[in-house]
Amino acid sequence: MSVGAWLRAARPLAHANIAPPILLGQAFGFASTGTFDPILASVAFGFGVLDHLTIVFANDYADRESDALADERTIFSGGSRVIPDGLIEPRHLKLAAIGAAATLVIGSAVAGFLLGRDLLPAFAAAALALLYAYSYEPFRLSYRGYGEIVQGLGVGLVLPLLGWYAQTGDVTRAPYDAFAPLVMLAFASNILTALPDHAGDARAAKRSWPVRRGEARARRDALVLVGVGVALATQVGPVFSMEWTAAIVGPPALAVLLAFGWMKEGRPVLPFVTFAAGAITVLHVAWSVALLVADSRVRGALGA
């Protein structure tokens, strides 16, 4: 086993699904309180790293048989394929997943105790429960057609709520209305990453959204969800000037338009996924920047 094999198993590019929602949750916290604690930010991002490693290692182990049926690995999907390619033994990857999960739980408990964030272990438990339900029996929801819902809740709700809680210490006043489009975008993200795996998932009897709906309709569904999610970002959370609103939604809207040009079935799927998934990440980052640096007025749950 080489360092390169473990780096491949860690799938660092996939962390783009984890860090931006945590950042955005913290940015909402700053917009509400006017304070930003770098130590608490480090804890939140550290939680994200451990959660990410647990997810990619555990999913690679759980999906080792179906990944072997996939045509190829892409930067977005197909797992790391370190097991089918014989780079890492399954038992070693399983142990790495258990180690990352244990570190997440223990680290959350210690940090929560030392920093007055008693609910951090609950966030760790929620993240691990969703992961287990997503990939493992008796649930294995990703194979039964509910993976999109699990990812929507995990990435679109748990992670931004973690970021908010890290900075504010209070989950009762969280901007749940602003998290609604994030759940929708995380739901869409699951569809997007499943698109390149469509053929392999069908052979493995994995009822992903593209398998159930067909590739053409799955592309359309994902793009509609991303477009609606981007549009909803202007209707929730603090109100910004027209210039900042345009800065938040303009770049992701452009990415949606670029993805539209690759939507038809038969056109290469990777450019479509790149632009559509890019719209999601760009929205998270642009919205975070605006919350951290721009003047705004409060509305919705933040004003409660």
Domain interval for residue 33:
3-299
Task: Note the pLDDT tens digit of each residue in 125-157.
Answer: 999 999 999 999 999 999 999 999 999 999 999
- The terminus-to-terminus CA distance of the chain in angstroms comes to 53
Task: Note the pLDDT tens digit of each residue in 56-102.
Answer: 999 999 988 877 666 666 666 667 889 988 899 999 999 999 999 99
Please tell me the pTM assigned to this model: 0.93
Residue 202 belongs to a domain: yes
CB atoms under 10 Å from CB of 257, counted, come to 13
Residue 253 belongs to a domain: yes
CATH number, domain at 68? 1.10.600
What is the residue-averaged pLDDT of the chain? Answer: 92
Residue 78 belongs to a domain: yes
Give the pLDDT band (50/70/90) at residue 304: very low
pLDDT on residue 71: 60
Residue 286 belongs to a domain: yes
What percent of the chain lies above the pLDDT cut of 90? 81
Task: Note the pLDDT tens digit of each residue in 190-208.
Answer: 999 999 888 888 888 899 9
For the chain, what is the domain count? 1
Task: Reply yes or no on whether the pLDDT at 298 is more than 90.
Answer: no
Residue 162 belongs to a domain: yes
Residue 285 belongs to a domain: yes
Residue 304 belongs to a domain: no
Give the pLDDT band (50/70/90) at residue 263: confident
Residue 81 belongs to a domain: yes
Averaged over 36-56, what is the pLDDT? 98
